[in-house]
Structure 1
Amino acid sequence: MSEIYDLIIIGGGPAGMAAAIYAGRSERKTLLLEKSGYGGRAKDTLEIRNYPGTLSDSGQGLMEKFHAHAENFPSVKFKHSTVTGIRKEDDLFIIETKRKGGLMARSVILALGTRPRELGIPGEKEFVGHGVAYCATCDAEFFKGKNIYVLGAGDQAVEEADYLTKFAEKVTIIVLHEKGHLDCNEISAERAYKNPKIDFVWSTTVQEVKGSDHVESLVLKNVVTNEVNEVPADGLFFFVGMVPQTDLVKDLVTCDRSGYIQVNGKMETSLPGMYAVGDCIQTFLRQIVTSAADGAVAATASERYVKEQEQLSEILGPDSGAVAFVFYNPYQSAEIECVSGLEKKLGGQWKVYRQDISRQDLLYRKLNLDRTVCAAFYKDGKLLEIKSAEEI
């Protein structure tokens, strides 16, 4: 584990690859780790029409362009491997992998993505790959001429149902809501209503998936009347939401109740030096364009973090003497005046460094500070005390 990267990116979806592009532009020594294919779930999208500058492209095609762009930078390397653990030792991250052993980095970007939500319905897990599926683009060809069902009423469910009609004889969408109430956009809904191969079952959920070697029938339950009905089926596609793949870091960073990683405007997690981007974070919109933007922000923020870390290491050496860091908010005029006064007061005894927390917040976060103006006093690299402006 002698080689140290400036940045390791875990996940090769659009967010991870955008981060690699920005890191490459800065000539940072970067490694992107991906356990399967580059592009994430975006590569399974049949057609993309809302990515700026791209009138129309397949998800696979657009992601290949992302990958080629990132590979163009000599400082960026790609490796296929599964990350099994992450820990931080002093100021370095140790990334444990199945195939590449331990890797070291000064900063890490998590682009972990999501996976389809499983409902735990009897028969669901048993028939995965044998009639139960979660990706239309991946598995549609296995259902040519078949009678299949789709569970869900959002954009993904309705759009994928429309796509499945290119292969299946009939597609029935199972909707939990009352008749005419879909959760998708109006264009997709209208298209589905007009598709002669699509039927709807309203106010209904799946109670059980049945069959022998393959799905043969579904037990459906009307949530209004509680009527149970078994119908013949050759397959069932689940489109009932996604789950963040964040188990790897749930004990390292702060996540919300659903498991999504919480970040600030710079994509910083609760652990300094670690960033999270794309679908694994709690965000209002999950699109390729927003994921790419996340990656750009995180790569830029992580570069500043590493530079600030290096600066602090130089300042706080074992023979650095008496050093004082004064933290302030530059958007408060009174605080700027206060800092100037403190510099004059401390200048004779201490070497004073101003810390504008809007740009230099690494030490501020490490010290778990929540107020300004205040100062941290060090002697030969060791923290002595922290005082407010009033106490100095």
Structure 2
Amino acid sequence: MKTNTLDPIQCLIIGSGPAGYTAAIYAARAGLSPVLYQGIQPGGQLITTTEVENYPGFADGVQGPDMMMHFEKQALRMGADIRYGIVTQVDFTGPLHRVQLNDEDWLSARTVIICTGASAKWLGLESEKRLNGYGVSACAVCDGFFFRGKDVAIVGAGDTACEEALYLSKLCRVVHMIVRKDAQSMKASKVMQQRVNNTANIRIHWNSETLEILGDKEVEAIVVRNNATGEQTNISADAFFVAIGHKPNSDIFRGWLDMDVDGYLLTQPDSTATNISGVFAAGDIQDRTFRQAITAAGTGCMAALEAERYLTALVHGQNISSVPEYLLR
């Protein structure tokens, strides 16, 4: 296996969603010669999104893949080195951080910015995949706007599902909330359950499991089965939102970086710094709350700026008194 320890990368970026490309833009403008590996899904989750209306700068909206193409082109124009490859292993034991690509060659880098994101959990239905972007979504805040005044359905029983159901209730005529178990088994906090129960246009379907999503080119109805009676019902809906959680793509960092019980990387307050000096995390890999393109881009900017400060202090031997202590641990 080859390792480039004699010529380490100044700034290595893992992942290519809004966080990764923004980090690449800022790092390139700072002269850090960033190398970005796109990962298994170049462009991140927005590649599977249709119209994006809430990202500033696109007055008429933009298709998700088109927006990520703009991000990539801008990063390339700034001088970022963008490559296709998947990081399969890391070694953060030394002052130089080592990552393995495609289970083969090893690279070394002075700083690493992790932007591997989080993947939405899905039910696993064929129709769910086929209609993704055509009424099926894992983000009510992103896509609820397109279904103003219409009937929608959402599946989930946690705080996130309740929050998204409440958000949709302000836009949509009726929100059908599909909950697999009974009220006593609902995972959401009591206050969130009360808010949902007190919202007139949210109709909760207890003990119900989603069997199928009907529609050829767009969502038309949801087939649910009552687990107590076995009865099947078709619920008319123009959209189907899945809110059963996200899984951060952090498995390869387990044992190296601090993370919470669900696998989200932990960063210092008001920072993207992890527990390893010179390793930063940005975007959905460390954000379990907002998960928006614009917040991911913001933390990508932060990570590049912090990587620049770290390199300026340590690589160029400048005065480190102005560098926060947490960057130098």
Asked if these proteins are the same fold (TM beyond 0.5), I'd say yes
Change (3 A) 1:200 1:360: closer
Q: Which residue of 1 aligns with 2:69?
A: 64
The range that moved more, 294-303 or 86-95, is 86-95
The structure whose RCO (Cα within 8 Å, separation 6+) is larger is 2
Counterpart of 1:133?
Answer: 129
Instruction: Tell me which residue corresponds to 2:306.
Output: 301
Contact 1:109/1:277, CA 8 A, preserved across alignment: yes
Task: State the superposition RMSD in angstroms.
Answer: 3.9
Q: CA deviation at 1:248?
A: 1.4
> 2:206 is matched with which residue?
204
Matched, 1:220 2:216: no
Aligned length: 284
Structure 1 residues 104 and 16 mapped into 2: Cα distance closer, same or farther (>3 Å)?
same
Q: Quick one: distance in 1 between partners of 2:51 and 2:283?
A: 20
- Please state how far the C-alpha of 1:286 moved relative to its aligned partner: 2.4
How far did 1:238 drift?
A: 3.4
Q: 1:251 aligns with which of 252, 255, 260?
A: 255
Cα separation, partners in 2 of 1:88 and 1:16, compared to 1, 3 Å: same
TM-score normalized by the length of structure 1: 0.61
- Deviation of the 1:133 alpha carbon: 3.0
CA contact (8 A) 1:209 1:219 kept: yes
**d(CA) in 2 for partners of 1:298, 1:151:** 29
Structure 1 residues 132 and 45: CA distance shift in structure 2, 3 A:
closer
Task: Specify the alignment match of 1:278 in structure 2.
Answer: 283
Whether contact under 8 Å (1:152, 1:158) holds in the other structure is no
Match of 2:232 in 1: 230
Cα distance, 1:254–1:4 mapped onto 2, change above 3 Å: same
Gap regions ≥5 residues in structure 1? 119-123, 142-149, 166-170, 211-215, 315-353, 366-392
Structure 2, unmatched stretches of 5+, are 176-200, 213-221
Whether 2:35 is the aligned partner of 1:35: answer: no
What is the Cα deviation at residue 228 of structure 1?
4.1
Displacement of 1:289 after TM fit? 1.7
Give the counterpart letter for 1:84 in structure 2.
Answer: T
Q: Alpha-carbon deviations, 1:234-274, whole Å to 9, x = none?
A: x9873423221111112111111221111122300011111
8 Å contact from structure 1 (residues 114, 244) kept in 2: yes
Q: Which residue of 2 aligns with 1:21?
A: 25
Matched, 1:192 2:172: yes
Confirm or deny: 8 A CA contact 1:6 1:107 kept in the other structure: yes
Summarize the Cα distance change of 1:132–1:12 in structure 2 as closer, same or farther, 3 Å threshold. same
The 1:192/1:69 distance shift into structure 2, 3 A limit, reads: same
Output aligned runs, 1:1-392, within 5 Å. Answer: 1-2=3-4, 3-58=7-62, 59-74=64-79, 76-98=80-102, 101-118=105-122, 124-125=123-124, 128=125, 130-133=126-129, 136-137=132-133, 140=134, 154-155=140-141, 158=144, 162=147, 173-174=153-154, 183-184=163-164, 188-189=168-169, 191-193=171-173, 202-207=204-209, 209=211, 218-221=224-227, 226-231=228-233, 238-264=242-268, 265-282=270-287, 284-311=289-316, 356=321, 359=323, 361=325, 365=329
Q: Distance in 2 between matches of 1:275 and 1:184?
A: 30
